[in-house]
Amino acid sequence: MTMLLRGSIEDRLKDRALRSLREKRGLRKPLIEDIFNLRTYISPTNLHVQNYLKHTPSAAFNPGALLQGNKLLLFPRLIFDYNNYVSSIGFTTLGIEEVLTGTFKTPLYTKIILWPTYIWEFRGCEDARIFEVDSDIYILYTGYGYLPHGGELNPIPVQGVAKIDKNLKLKYKGYFVIEGRGGRFIPRSHKDSAFVRINNEEAVILTRPSINGIDICWRGIASLNELIIYEETLSPVISFEPWELKVGWSTNVVKLSSNEYLVGWHAVLREDLSYRNGLAIVDDQGELLAISNYLLAPQGLIESYGDRPLVIFGNGLVIYRDILIWIGGISDYAIGVFATDLYKALEKLIWIRG
C-alpha cells in the first residue's frame, strides 16, 4: 500500500476545490445574528476525572455530545499539561434540564476514554464528534501525531475514528485515508468530520481534508471496514467567502426529517481570526439544501479569552423538545452550552434547493 502525501489524487481534489471557490461563493453574507440567547458554561474545575492521577484538567473544551432521553452525554477534550498540549477525550453525563437551567451539580464525574496509544495520535486525541448506531457509538476525532515520510516523522492531523460499546469499551480505532486512482492519499491535515448516516459499514461523511492549503467543507462516502474515503465520491459543499480564511464542519448532524439533516459549520475571519458559526441542512448524501449566515459567535470575557482567543468551536448539536442546543468549546479552555428555539433557527436558513 502506497501512502502519498502529494500527487495525482491531491491534484484532482485541488481542481475540485478551486472550482468550488469559483462557483460556490456568494451564498452567504458577512452578517451575524446571534440567536442563542441562553448560555451556560462548564469550567474545567467542574470536572473530576476518576481514572487518572490528575483529577482536574487544565482545560476541558470542544465536547462531542449525544442526547439519550433526558440525559446529555458529553465527550470533552481534556488537557492536563500545557508543555506539549497533549489531549485526551473524556466522558461525563448531565441531566439536560439541569444543563439548560445551569443548576447541574458538581463535580461532574468524568472518565478518560480515548488517549494516545498510536504514533498517529501521539500528540493528542482531539475534538470528538458522536454518532450512535444501535448500541454502539462512533467517535470521529482528530488524531494529532506522526506519520513516516521520506525517512522522517512528520507531525500531521489525521481524521481518527473510534468505535465503543454502550459500556465505553473500545472496539477499534484508526484513521481514514483517501483512496483513488494512483493509490492512497493522506492530506496534510484532515479533521472536522461528521457522519450523516451509516449503512452496512458504509458511511456518508461530511469532512474537511486540507487540499493544497485550501480548507473547505466536503462530502463523500467512506468504508468503515477499510477506513478509506473514496476519492471519486468527494465533492465540495461549502466554500469560504472572500472575507474568510477557511471553513469547516463544526458538529454532528441531527436528523430533521427523512432526508434533511441539520449540522453546524464554522468560518475563521481574516480581519481578526475569530470563529463564527452557522447552520446548514444537508440531504442523506451530504448535498447542501440550505445554509445560514453567522448565528453564533463569542461574546464577552468568558467566551472570548483563553488559550486560543475569540473561539466558539464545535462539537455537539442536539434537539430537546423544540430547543436547539449547541455544545461547544470556548476559547480552548472551557465548555459553553448555547440554546435557542429550533424554529427560530430554521427560519434563518436560506434554501439553496429542496
Q: Residue 10 in 3-state DSSP?
A: helix
Over residues 130-146, the mean pLDDT reads 97
What are the domain boundaries of the chain? 3-351
Q: Between 71 and 84, where is the model more confident? A: 71
Q: What is the pLDDT of residues 160-186, one digit of tens each?
A: 999 999 999 999 999 999 999 989 999
Q: What is the C-alpha separation between 129 and 60, in angstroms, rounded?
A: 15
At 5 the pLDDT is: 44
∠ CA 229-233-235 to the nearest 5 degrees? 110
Task: Using the predicted structure, report yes or no on whether residue 6 has a pLDDT greater than 60.
Answer: no
Rg (CA), the chain: 19
The answer to whether 61 and 332 have CB atoms below 8 angstroms apart is yes
Spatial CB neighbours of 259, under 8 Å, sequence gap ≥ 6: 283, 284
Report residue 1's pLDDT band, with 50, 70 and 90 as the boundaries: very low
Task: Using the predicted structure, report yes or no on whether residue 220 has a pLDDT greater than 60.
Answer: yes
The answer to whether 38 and 339 have CB atoms below 8 angstroms apart is yes
Over residues 291-297, the mean pLDDT reads 99
Q: What is the DSSP-derived secondary structure letter of residue 84? A: S
Over residues 87-100, the mean pLDDT reads 98
Over residues 185-200, the mean pLDDT reads 97
Q: What is the pLDDT of residues 318-333, one digit of tens each?
A: 999 999 999 999 999 9
The answer to whether 36 and 338 have CB atoms below 8 angstroms apart is yes
* Other Cβ atoms closer than 10 A to 115: 15
Mode of pairing for the β-strands spanning 228-230 and 217-223: antiparallel
At 147 the pLDDT is: 93
Mode of pairing for the β-strands spanning 323-330 and 334-341: antiparallel
Q: Residue 85 in 3-state DSSP?
A: coil
Q: What is the C-alpha separation between 52 and 288, in angstroms, rounded?
A: 42
Task: Using the predicted structure, report yes or no on whether residue 7 has a pLDDT greater than 80.
Answer: no
Lookup: cell for 26: 456568494
At 153 the pLDDT is: 87
Backbone angles phi, psi at 160, to 5 degrees: -85, 160
* Other Cβ atoms closer than 10 A to 68: 12
Report residue 314's pLDDT band, with 50, 70 and 90 as the boundaries: confident
Q: What is the C-alpha separation between 140 and 25, in angstroms, rounded?
A: 28
Residue type (1 letter), 279: L
Q: What is the pLDDT of residues 72-83, one digit of tens each?
A: 999 999 999 988
Question: Helix, strand, coil shares of the chain as percentages rounded to 5?
Answer: 10, 55, 35
At 2 the pLDDT is: 42
The CATH number that domain 3-351 falls under is: 2.115.10.20
b/e code 268-307 from CB counts within 10 Å (16+ = b): bbeeeebbbbbbbbbbeebebbbbbbbbbbbeeebbbebe
Handedness of CA 125, 128, 131, 137 (dihedral sign): positive
Report residue 154's pLDDT band, with 50, 70 and 90 as the boundaries: confident
